[in-house]
């Protein structure tokens, strides 16, 4: 099989899986090709799209590859899908999201201890936007819900994994506040 044929197969598979993405392991299983061969073809495709400044790109997000649109075309895409505009999250929701992102898995009570206020509404907002999810139950009495970020969170913020979050400064007296500040600086708006 030629490299061009392999690239054609990869493009077709990426198109079919959509925003779910596909892992290298799944590509290997589907095509019966070696990982190195597929990674080389993916790299070639990414380079071709970048060099030709195409309308889409191949991005590695949340552990898988997917086709994404070129950011420079966002205004046209928004017009096409009639997006009413970007809506920012409230300060409370951003603080809550930053705490969850850096401390996950974490309970509602632990979030409230850090923030010093109730978090019911911000948690509902973040759940409705699919940015956080229930990540299990605490082993302590009461078995409180543990919250964590979602693949959608990674997608919205262009992260490959949670490890791509900006690092926290060392020796901070008020780390939680700095976590939120770092988060706000990097991620100001989230589409609804």
User: Is 71 found in the same domain as 9?
Assistant: yes
How confident is the model over 17-32, as a mean pLDDT? 91
Q: Is residue 86 part of a domain?
A: no
* Amino acid 84: pLDDT: 47
User: Is 128 found in the same domain as 153?
Assistant: yes
Sign of the Cα torsion 144, 150, 156, 157 reads positive
User: Is 116 found in the same domain as 34?
Assistant: no
As for how many domains the chain has, the answer is 2
pTM of the model: 0.54
Which phi and psi (to 5°) does residue 58 adopt? -105, 120
* Amino acid 76: pLDDT: 85
Query: Integer distance in angstroms from the first to the last C-alpha of the chain?
Result: 43
CATH number for the domain spanning 160: value is 1.10.10.10
* Amino acid 75: pLDDT: 85
Can you give the residue range of the structural domain that contains 49?
A: 3-77
> Which residues have a Cβ under 8 Å from the Cβ of 159 and sit 6 or more positions away?
61, 62, 153, 165
Q: Can you read off the two tokens belonging to residue 171?
A: 């020796």
Q: Is the pLDDT of residue 87 over 80?
A: no
> Which residues have a Cβ under 8 Å from the Cβ of 114 and sit 6 or more positions away?
99, 103, 176
* Amino acid 190: pLDDT: 52
Q: Is the pLDDT of residue 178 over 60?
A: no
């Amino acid at each position: 099989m030629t490299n061009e044929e392999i690239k054609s197969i990869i493009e077709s598979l990426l198109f079919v899986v959509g925003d779910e993405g596909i892992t290298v392991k799944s590509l290997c299983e589907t095509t019966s090709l070696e990982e190195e061969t597929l990674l080389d073809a993916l790299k070639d495709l990414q380079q071709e799209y970048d060099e030709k400044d195409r309308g889409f790109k191949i991005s590695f997000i949340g552990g898988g590859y997917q086709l994404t649109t070129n950011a420079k075309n966002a205004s046209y895409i928004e017009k096409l899908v009639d997006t009413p505009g970007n809506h920012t999250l409230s300060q409370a929701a951003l603080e809550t999201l930053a705490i969850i992102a850096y401390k996950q898995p974490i309970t509602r009570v632990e979030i409230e201890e850090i923030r010093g206020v109730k978090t019911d509404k911000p948690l509902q907002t973040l759940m409705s936007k699919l940015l956080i999810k229930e990540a299990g139950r605490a082993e302590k009495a009461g078995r409180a819900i543990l919250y964590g970020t979602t693949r959608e969170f990674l997608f919205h913020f262009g992260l490959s994994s949670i490890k791509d979050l900006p690092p926290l400064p060392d020796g901070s007296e008020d780390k939680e506040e700095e976590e939120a500040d770092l988060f706000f600086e990097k991620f100001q708006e989230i589409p609804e």
